Amino acid sequence: MQGEEKKGKVKKGWLAVRVGDDGSRRFVIPIAYLYHPLFRRLLEAARDAYGYDYSGGPLRLPCSVDEFLRLRALVERETQAAASGGSASASSSSSHHGHNLVSFSPCTRAKVSS
C-alpha cells in the first residue's frame, strides 16, 4: 500500500497515522478516509484514549495493526465502488457498512461506549 512504513514528509492530501498497541507501525492514508463512518468512530476512540493533546507526530489510533488493515481495506473497497458510480456499488457499499461495522467494532467499542 502507498506510504506504508515510509518516513519523512507526507504528500498533500494524505495523513500519517501510528497504529498498534505501542504505536509502532506508521501508515499514510488519504485524508478523505477520515470522513468514512468507521474512521470517524476510530477518531472518536483516539480522542477518548489520548485526548486532544497534539505532540507534533502522526495521529495515534487505538487499535491493532490487523484491525486497522481490515478497516483500511474496507474503506478502499467502498471508496473505489463509489468512484465507479454504479447504482449496484452504492447498494453494495451500504450493505458493507452494517456488516463490517459489527466485525470492526471491537477496536473502537470499548473506548467509545465507556
Give pLDDT tens digits for 72-85.
Answer: 999 999 988 888 88
What are the extents of the domains in the chain?
A: 14-81
pTM of the complete model beyond 0.75: no
The grid coordinates of residue 4 equal 506504508
Residue-wise pLDDT tens digits, 19-71: 998 888 999 999 999 999 999 999 999 999 888 776 667 889 999 999 999 99
Q: 73 vs 29, 53, 55, 67, 109, CA distance in Å? A: 11, 28, 28, 10, 19
